[in-house]
Amino acid sequence: MNPREELGDLIAQAREHLRYYSELGLTHIGEKSTPAVSEQRVEDLIAKQATSTAHGAFEPKRQEPPASTIIPPPQPVTKPTITMPTKKENSTDPSLFGEPSLFGENASPAAENQYANETLEDIRRDLGDCHRCKLWSTRTNIVFGEGNPKAELMFVGEGPGADEDATGRPFVGRAGQLLTKMIEAIGLKREDVYIANVVKSRPPGNRAPESDEVKACIPFLFRQIAAIHPKLIVALGNPAMQALLDTKIGITKMRGHFQGYPRIPGIKVLPTFHPAYLLRSPDKKREAWEDLKKVRAFLRGETES
Ligand code: SF4
């Protein structure tokens, strides 16, 4: 049906409706207040509207809401970007995780190069009757470290306790006895490994070493590690792990995960709980044992770290 026929059909239908309304007695169609609309007038209106439609101009008029009810379209949400610290490539900053170094320039890996090929005896001689930090004033003995100078495995704690201070030997108190058992549990003897601490004088009251004490003392530990060149260092507890890896991340996140020792390529670090903590929290021994099994497997070449 062409538009003309369509229009005629529309008008015919309208006439039919009007006739029907007339028979019902209706004379008004549309607004209440308008006067009666004659049949002819309605026909004219319909014809006019139909003409508009035929030209595509008739569209149902959109009712615009009042300005106060207009809801603006949603704006795109920009998520905040969280950037995790990453290791800086080719950086002289020794920090493993790209944080500012805890130790400053004094302990940059380059600083160890000047001590290349020195022995543990050389390092001990250089340490002397050390007064480099305030811990000298309360100590009885310097606890330098002991064990196999060619050990594949090193254990590093945070600092000497009362028994160690009294004897000048590392890990000889109750925690030390537990450490010896841990070493033997993986098929080694205490003499096979090397044991040292981050600070070599006892912090009073068994407190954790303070940052200025760590900064003063840790270059000697770094030199010991360079001289021994172990395959693996087990970091015992939070202070030792944070000092060795130069990070502020906590032990609970890092425990049981092999890390690269940031100062010498090829040496690995495995953080685990300090034996003194295991004495206070025996329920953690199971996790420590899992870590020790990783140590054993690593030394046997059974696992990729
Ligand atoms: S803790 Fe280290 S730096 Fe401080 S006095 Fe003792 S040996 Fe020296």
Burial 56-78 (b: 16+ CB within 10 A, else e): eeeeeeeeeeeeeeeeeeeeeee
Window from 73-87, 128-142, 166-180 with minimum mean pLDDT: 73-87
29-60 per-position pLDDT tens digit: 444 444 444 444 544 544 454 444 444 333 34
**216 Cβ closer than 6 Å to some ligand 1 atom:** yes
Q: For residue 191, what pLDDT is reported?
A: 98
- Which residues, in sequence order, are CB contacts of 1 under 8 Å at separation 6+? 9
Confidence tier at 171 by pLDDT (50, 70, 90)? very high
What rounded mean pLDDT belongs to the chain? 78
For residues 290-298, average pLDDT: 97
Q: Residue whose CA is closest, atom 5 of ligand 1?
A: 136
* Residue range 17-31: mean pLDDT, rounded: 47
Lowest mean pLDDT among 3-7, 126-130, 268-272: 3-7
* pLDDT(112) > 60: yes
Average pLDDT rounded to a whole number, residues 49-75: 44
Decide: 114 and 153 in contact? Cβ < 8 Å: no
Q: Is residue 201 in contact with ligand 1, taking CB distance under 6 Å?
A: yes
Q: Would you state the pLDDT for residue 265?
A: 94
Q: Is the CB of 130 under 6 A from ligand 1?
A: yes
* Helix axes of 211-228 and 120-127: crossing angle, nearest 10 degrees: 160
**Residue 236, strand partner residues:** 272
Q: Which amino acid is at 142?
A: I
Q: What sign has the CA pseudo-torsion 196, 198, 200, 201?
A: negative
Closest C-alpha to 268, from 294, 237, 293, 238: 294
pLDDT category of residue 303 using cuts at 50, 70 and 90: confident
Closest ligand 1 atom, CA of 133? 4
Classify residue 90 by its DSSP letter.
T
Q: Does residue 106 have a pLDDT over 70?
A: no
Whether pLDDT at 64 is above 50: no
Closest protein CA for atom 4 of ligand 1: 133
